[in-house]
Structures are given as structure tokens and as C-alpha cells.
Amino acid sequence: MYLRHGAFSYLPELTDDEIAAQVRYGLLNGWPISIEFTDDPHPRNIYWEMWGLPLFDLDEPDGVISEINACRATFPNHYVRVLAYDATLGRQTTAMQFLVQRPEEEPGFYLARTEGSDRRQSYSVQSYAAQAPAGRRYARD
């Protein structure tokens, strides 16, 4: 299942140059860029692991791209996303977020049904990958 997450997720995957252009757009707006990764891309898992601190005070995307590449090299089978945070008063939220890496095979999610009292059904979305212990998910072997 191809995970749709963040902006541009219905577009073809961005090339590094396009990622740089998007990052430049964020930097021109004065948004610090941060990089996050996870191996549990459940829709409700909104807090991913941070790859270092947010990158403040940059003018050019080169530094971000090199950090993205470092993150990709360390976690080749994780999801990696780039976030731009808008700190202006009144907004103070994520202004832009998009994936820059996904594992080769994505088993996707399934719907788990649980029967409660009086035959009441409750549903939850669960990830196939999360059945493996953290770190072993999406391992290619």
C-alpha cells in the first residue's frame, strides 16, 4: 500500500532538486526546517523521531539536503519527512510537511474489529509492519 502522507503525496515522488526548491520556499518564508523519521507511519502517530534539532538560521537548502541524506543513509528503510514550522504569532503550527523517503515495501494497514458487550463492534486501524518489533519493521531480508 502506497502511503499518502503530507503535502505532495499524490504527486510523483519529489527529486532532490524539487525537495531543495520546496525547502527554499520554506526558508524564504522564515520557517525553520526539521527532519523526522519513523518506522510506524500510523495516521495517529503524529510525533515522529527527530533527526537532530530543527535547522535554524539557514538561507540556502544545501544544509537541509545534506541532513536529509545523512538521515536516509542511517535509516534506509524508514519513512523520512521534512517539516517547516511557522512560528509567527497566531499561526504557530506546521506550515508544510512532506515525505522525502519511504521504504521499498509497504505492507500497509488493516482494519481490526473488536467485539464488545452486546455485540458492539469497535474498529481500529493497525499497521502490518508494526507487528514486528521496532527497528525490524520494513527490514529487507
Residues contributing to the site for another protein (CB under 8 A):
7, 11-13, 15, 17-18, 20-22, 24-25, 52, 55, 57-64, 66
CB of 129 to another protein, least distance (A): 26
Residue 12 or residue 133: which is nearer to another protein going by CB? 12
Q: Which long-range contacts (CB under 8 A, 24 or more apart) does 101-107 make?
A: 101/37, 101/68, 101/71, 101/72, 102/3, 102/13, 103/39, 103/77, 103/78, 103/79, 103/138, 104/77, 104/138, 104/140, 105/138, 105/140, 106/1, 106/2, 106/3, 106/138, 107/1
CB of 133 to another protein, least distance (A): 29
CB of 120 to another protein, least distance (A): 44
Residue 41 or residue 61: which is nearer to another protein going by CB? 61
Residue 3 or residue 58: which is nearer to another protein going by CB? 58
